[in-house]
Amino acid sequence: MEGNAISAQQIQEIKLGKTTETDLLRLLGPPSQKERRPDGTDRLLYVHSQIKSPTLIGGFVIYGLVDKEEEEVFEVILKSGVVQSFHFIQP
């Protein structure tokens, strides 16, 4: 597993035009990626990935054979250190 999953409760605490980057760090932790865009905004990506292995009847887990990787990417756009938009994107 890599990164932390973003919960609905955490998302509800993010307010457009009010939540700051410091607030995000406190709420979600450090982003997986941060980049400055040509328009002067900052793009923060919070990536959560995990590998799931199938479980058979009786609780036997098959590791490695048919593992499935699942990934969630949560994007936050900041302007002057304040949240302008946020949403999940397809990896």
Per-domain residue ranges of the chain? 8-89
- Does residue 1 have a pLDDT over 80? no
* Residues 52-90 pLDDT 10s: 666 677 776 666 666 777 889 999 999 999 999 999 998
What is the pTM for the complete model shown? Answer: 0.79
CA distances from 23 to 26, 46, 62 (A): 5, 15, 41
The answer to whether 88 and 10 have CB atoms below 8 angstroms apart is: no
Structure tokens that stand for 70 in this block: 């699942």
Long-range contacts of 8-12 (CB under 8 A, 24+ apart): 11/86
* Residues 22-60 pLDDT 10s: 999 999 999 999 999 999 999 999 999 877 666 677 776
Q: Fold for 8-89, please state it.
A: Beta-lactamase Inhibitory Protein; Chain:B, domain 1 (3.30.1450)
